[in-house]
Amino acid sequence: MRVKVAGTLAVVSVVAGCGTATSAQPTSTGAGVLTLDRATPPAPGGEVGGASTEFASAADLTMWTKLSDTEKDVDRIAKLDVNKTVKGALYLEPKTSTWFDGFRGPFLYQELAGDIVMHARVKVEGRSGGRPKRTFSLGGLMARQPGSYANPNWVSITTGTGEKSGRIEVKWTENGSSKPKEIPVKAGWVDLVLARAGRVFAALYKEEGGAWKVGQRWPSALPGVLQWGVTAYTDWDSYAALKKDPAKANARQVKGRPDLKLTVDFVRFLRPELPDYADPLNSASVSDPVLVKALTPAGA
């Protein structure tokens, strides 16, 4: 598969742990302060812009690859189409599935390299409408290290029902250990951003009619080439005794009561640009408002 390159490749070496932004003050020999007036929104276009998809035609689905096809996994998608079930959108219904620790679920992706901003507008509902009723029924964006089944490494921002309904979930999984965080969000359409810029991975979200917010920052501990795309999963309770045995769960399709439908209006890829003196893991160097400006499309 052809890998699209955007910007400077991120550091490939692993940064230990899963952290958020620190509050340490920048120093004269370390990071400097990036002010709001000097921050610039990510740039559209270029080769990475060619991966953007508006889902206006059924042919747009050919740009995307199912993980179950490339890494010989169980296909946990019950329904998938573009511009058919919902006009001008990608529509996905997952079977009982999950992305947590070593468990695997549905994933549609494009393989891209370097610093990336992935921006999507999504809506998650239960199959009969309203909010999903089954726990951990979530849909949104993921960036994953290719071929990492044995030692899972990925980061995601999703929305739907987590432990409670009406949630944004931001989650970092490092070497098969997931660290999720849930944030309350109102029902309806939500804009999501998953981005890598230098040594930071960041998840941002915006409720319809609201303002962008930073959900989480993590060290960028993943390789330069990643699978960037869309995920949806549902019905964790139906795993029952298999909740402690991802190997057995991954080897079969768990029967259950899936309750999620994901609609994706678009997925757009952009290139972030941060000056060398700015440390996006340090909130004293790059504050949340500055990070929002640097990692969300102008006018979005």
Q: Is residue 27 part of a domain?
A: no
The rounded distance, in Å, linking the Cα atoms of 21 and 123 is: 28
Q: Is residue 134 part of a domain?
A: yes
Question: 13: pLDDT confidence band, cut at 50, 70 and 90?
Answer: very low
Q: Taking residues 122-142, what's their average pLDDT?
A: 97
**What is the CB neighbour count within 10 angstroms for residue 41?**
18
Q: Which pLDDT score is estimated for 26?
A: 60
Question: 264: pLDDT confidence band, cut at 50, 70 and 90?
Answer: very high
The rounded distance, in Å, linking the Cα atoms of 238 and 257 is: 7
Q: Is residue 28 part of a domain?
A: no
Number of structural domains found in the chain: 1
Rounded to a whole number of angstroms, the distance between the first and last alpha carbons of the chain is 31
Domain, as residue range, for 150: 4-22+33-295
Q: Taking residues 70-85, what's their average pLDDT?
A: 96
Condensed to tens digits (0 to 9), the pLDDT of residues 173-206 reads 999 999 999 999 999 999 999 999 999 999 999 9
Residue entry with tokens 């206006």: 56
Q: For residue 160, what are its two tokens?
A: 């739907």
Mean pLDDT (the chain) is 91
At a CB cut-off of 8 Å and minimum separation 6, what does 34 contact? 274, 275, 277, 278, 285, 286, 290, 294
Q: Is residue 265 part of a domain?
A: yes
At a CB cut-off of 8 Å and minimum separation 6, what does 272 contact? 7, 42, 115, 116, 117, 195, 196, 197, 294, 295
Q: Is residue 300 part of a domain?
A: no
Q: Which pLDDT score is estimated for 31?
A: 73
**CATH at residue 154:** 2.60.120.200
Q: Is residue 250 part of a domain?
A: yes
Q: Is residue 101 part of a domain?
A: yes
Residue 53: φ, ψ to 5°: -135, 125
